[in-house]
Amino acid sequence: MLWMRIKYRLGLLYKILLFKIGLKKWLLKDRYGERILVFHGIDSIGETKYNSRFISKFFFEAFIKHISTHYNVISLDDFYAKKFKKNTLNIAITFDDGLLNNYQNALPILKKYKVPACFYITTIHEKAPYLWADFLDLVSIHTKKEEIVFQNKAYIKNQKNEFTHQNVSLKNIAKTITYKDIALLYDIFKEDWNALPKEELNEYWELMSPDQIKEIADHPLFTIGSHAETHASLINISVATAKEEILQSKKSLENICQQPIEEFAFPFGYYTEELAKYCLEVGYKKVLLVDYNIKSHAENEALKNRFVMNPYITLEQQLACLLKGSYF
Ligand SMILES: [Zn+2]
C-alpha cells in the first residue's frame, strides 16, 4: 500500500518534470487502446472540500476539448460494438451518481463539443433529495457535534471532519447498510442539515429531477443507466436486497424515461459474479465496473471496467495517466 502510494507520487512528479523541461510530446506520445471514463460531479470551481470526486467545469471543458480534438470519443453503444479507430485512443464517457451539477455544468459542454455520454442515476430521489454520501460530507463539515451514537457505537469527529469509531468511518459503515438505517442517520443530523446554507452548496448535493433525467434520455447524444437505488455497496447488503435494487431501479428509470434502461453501473464498482449475472438476466446489456475482480471477467463482453478521473492532478498529468491507462 505504502509502496503504491510512493510510486503514484513519484509518477506524478516525474510527469510534472517532463512537462516543465518541455518533453510534453514524449509524455503524450501515441498510445492506443480503449477507455471508458467515469466522472462524478462537475462543479463551478473544483472544490474538493465537500466532495473528493468533483472537478471544475473549466477543467472539464479543457479536457473534453482536448480529447475530442485528439482522440476518438464515441458513444458507449459504439464502444460496445467495437467501432474503434486504429492508431488512436477510443474513449467513451460516463457519469455516476445523477447529480444536478452534471445537468447544469457538464451537459452544455458535452453538447458544445458534440460528445456522447451516459449518466448512471440512483433512484434515491424517490426517498430523499440527496445521496447519503453527500449528506454526510456536508453535515460532518458543518455540524458542531463532536460525537454521535449510531447503532450503539460512538463516532467521534476527527480533524478531517469524519466521524469514526475505532478507525472505521461512518461513511464506510453507511455503504454497508440499507435505506432504513440510513434514514436513522438522517435523523441524527436533521438539524445540522436544516441549518446548512443549501442554496450556496447546491452543487454538492442536489440531484437531477425526473424531468431532467427524461430530457437527457431523449437527447440523441446521451443515455441514462441505473446506479442502483440507494448507492449502498451491493456486495455488503443481502443478495436479495441487492437484486431488488438492481431490478427496481431499472423499473423506476424506465418509468421516468419511457424507454428501456439497458446500462447498469455498480456503486463504487463493487460487484460479485452472481450480481453481474443477475443484471444480465433482468435485461441490462451493459454492466459497468471499475476494476475486474477476476481477470476472466474481462472476457465477458457485457462487463467493462472504467478509468476513474482524478480531481487532484493537473490536466497534463490526467492526460498522461489516461493515455497510459493507469495512475501508476
Ligand atoms: Zn456512485
- Taking only the tens place, the pLDDT of each residue in 219-249 is 999 999 999 999 999 999 999 999 999 999 9
Instruction: Give the residue extent of every domain in the chain.
Output: 1-30, 31-127+206-324, 132-195
d(CA 13, CA 19): 10
Q: Regarding the domain with residue range 31-127+206-324, which homologous superfamily does it belong to in the CATH classification?
A: Glycoside hydrolase/deacetylase (3.20.20.370)
- Cα 303 off chain centre by: 17
Q: Taking 70 as the threshold, does the pLDDT of residue 168 lie above it?
A: yes
Report percent pLDDT > 70 for the chain: 94
Q: Please report the pLDDT score of residue 48 as a whole number.
A: 80
Q: Taking 90 as the threshold, does the pLDDT of residue 24 lie above it?
A: no
Cα 134 to ligand 1 centroid, rounded to whole Å: 11
Cα 248 to ligand 1 centroid, rounded to whole Å: 17
Cα 96 to ligand 1 centroid, rounded to whole Å: 5
Q: Please report the pLDDT score of residue 323 as a whole number.
A: 86
What residues have their beta carbon closer than 5 A to ion ligand 1?
A: 96-97, 267
Cα 171 to ligand 1 centroid, rounded to whole Å: 13
Give the least confident one: 12-16, 246-250, 287-291.
Answer: 12-16
Distance from first CA to last CA of the chain, Å, rounded? Answer: 12
Cα 6 to ligand 1 centroid, rounded to whole Å: 27
* Between 157 and 87, the higher pLDDT residue: 157
Structural contact between residues 207 and 126, judged by C-beta atoms closer than 8 angstroms: no
Q: Please report the pLDDT score of residue 84 as a whole number.
A: 96
Cα 328 to ligand 1 centroid, rounded to whole Å: 23
Instruction: Write down the pTM of the prediction.
Output: 0.92
What 209-212 contacts at long range (C-beta under 8 Å, 24+ apart), as own/partner pairs, is 209/100, 209/125, 210/125, 210/256, 212/100, 212/103
Q: Taking 90 as the threshold, does the pLDDT of residue 324 lie above it?
A: no
Query: 119-152, pLDDT tens digit by residue?
Result: 999 999 888 999 999 999 999 999 999 999 999 9
